[in-house]
Structure 1
Amino acid sequence: METALITGASSGIGAAFARELARRHYHLILVARSQEQLNTLAQELRNQYPIQVEVIVQDLGQPQAATQVYQTVKDRGLTVDLLINNAGCGDYGPFARRSRTRQLEMIHLNIAALVELTHCILPEMQQRRSGSIINVASIAGFQPLPYMSVYAASKAFVLSFSEALWAENLDFNLRIQALCPGPTQSKFFQQSGFPQTMNNNQKITMIPPEQVVQDSLRGLEKNQPVVVTGTFKTHIIVNLPRFFPRSVWVNFMGKMFKSEE
């Protein structure tokens, strides 16, 4: 049986990955900050499936935390066959008015921790010539987003980084994927500080995290370097910017994302 390591596993897309992979009889290594939520999920999955579930409580927003996770994995004698870098955070509002600490923490979690953990585990996969990595980006990575400037830029990094690794590792028989979900049913909008009027926007269709996971794993089986999940409208949003001057499109997005509150 293969083993999957999932960061940000306590809720949302991470927990959905855990449940689906448990159903497919993967052993699991669940990583997140919330010990109570992780333990509850781990026990649920142990009770339902004949798998081993390891819990590592770690705040990946802290320096060297990803390396500590990797060292814990090695200390427990575990091998990672599927790495899912799902942990991340967002922040809404004009850049100059938002917390500088929050912006830097977001860069560290969304980019540095992802790169750090990937760099720890990828060489072992190359030596075995087997393994897969899913890096959770976002449709925000396809264009600049005023009022979510750092978040969108961080996801653009994840998208570019993952595509490059996909090409680098074809000869190693490895599969690398940038997963780019559209709006998904989770606590992301509340935790990112979106105004209530935008958070409750009925025009935005939220898809369940279970659908994101199914689309991702289907794409992984086909070795697709980028998987965009969501409605037809989501796919239009991803592809439409190429038909407009960048200044026109970014200005349009700024008007869309500007709060009236």
Structure 2
Amino acid sequence: MNTSIPTLTIQDVFKIYKEGDVETVALRGATLTVERGAFVAIQGRSGSGKSTLMNLIGGLAVPSAGRIIINDTDLLRLNEGQRAMFRRQHIGIVFQAENLIPFLTASENVALPMTLEGHHNAYRRAKSLLIEVGLGERLHHRPNQLSGGERQRVAIAVALANEPDLLLADELTGELDSATSDSIMALLKRLNVERGLTLIVVTHNPSVAVRAERQVHISDGQLREEMVVAYA
């Protein structure tokens, strides 16, 4: 793994939500560096700020203070349209709710973002990605014809369509049984190793977090503890 240049740098990030006179501090001075090709788990309970942090890293929201730098690009210096373009070019995101279009097949869901970007070989590449995530026999199945684990694999293929430098996974195993969850995490680990893909997984589940080479614990909006682990 090439660790000379960080994929992600988070510097003293705050996120404050305001509703009338009420302020809710979701993040309090969060700081983190993720090296290129790393596999990091951000672990915390519901309400700890982990999904807020994921949205900020993905450029889906902006911090109230601090900096988020991906590949030397400071997201706070980009306007909303520029952030969306940067996200399409460099970041893949997989949510717990797969966000698949129900009337499209697996291959059509994967091909759609590439088609919108003008790629002429979108369907050929979609097939290749679905084979890579273990769904070569499910190309023409719609989401309601797939299991929960299979839908997550399609969502991962969609997230890989733009050849991202950084893949974000937000509680994607939360609704899956333990065996299916293990298979999804094994797939993500393989993608991390074989592609050299920088991977950040947000989870409340210690058995998911232990798959990562680094665990970061978030509590009350602060990154409090980090440790290196070895998963056998």
With normalisation by structure 2, the TM-score equals 0.34
Please state which structure has a larger fraction of its residues in helix. Answer: 1
Please state which structure has a larger fraction of its residues in strand. Answer: 2
With normalisation by structure 1, the TM-score equals 0.31
